[in-house]
Structure formats: C-alpha cells, structure tokens
Amino acid sequence: MAAFALRWVSYEEISEVLSEHGMVTEKLEGHTFTQRRFTDAEEREYVLEELEGMGVETAGKEEDGWYHANFYLSRPAWEANVPVETLLAPVL
C-alpha cells in the first residue's frame, strides 16, 4: 500500500495497525511531495505552527504556501527486503 500523508499529520497509528497485520511501513526519506496551496493565511499559519511544534523544518516547503506530504510504503514483511528509496530511485 502506498500513501501520501501531509507532513503535519502523523502516520504512526496507521503504521501500527498495518504492523498488526504483518505489514512493514517505510517512509521515503529526503523527499516530500507538493499537494495543494493553502486556501488562506489562517490555514497556512495553523499548519506552520503545527509543524514547528513537531520540530519539522518548513523552509522551501509550507513556508512557500504549499502543503507537502511524506510518502509511505507498507508491504508484507517478506517483501520489505529492498528499501523504499531503492525501489523509487529510477523515478526520483
């Protein structure tokens, strides 16, 4: 299963549930994906405050007015022998 989660939303609970069913979840490190622009300054400020509280750097991403998402890949443990970065290297 592949999923994009906005950076200010925790994917931890989903990962834990999938783990209970034998799935291993990996986060693609070093890359984010733009989603959409903030609808207004209030939405932008809320997200920036949330990310700041999480210790997440926003320069060049949300500070520029765009939601950014992390990519997660969940798959059966027996298939998780190749890192997600290796799988996606040809398209990154």
The predicted-structure confidence for 36-91, as pLDDT tens digits, reads as follows 999 999 999 999 999 999 999 999 999 999 999 999 999 998 888 878 888 887 66
Q: What are phi and psi of 52, to 5 degrees?
A: -60, -45
Distance CA 84, CA 80 (A): 8
Count: domains in the chain? 1
Parent domain of 86: 2-91
The pTM is what?
0.84
Q: DSSP class of residue 34?
A: E
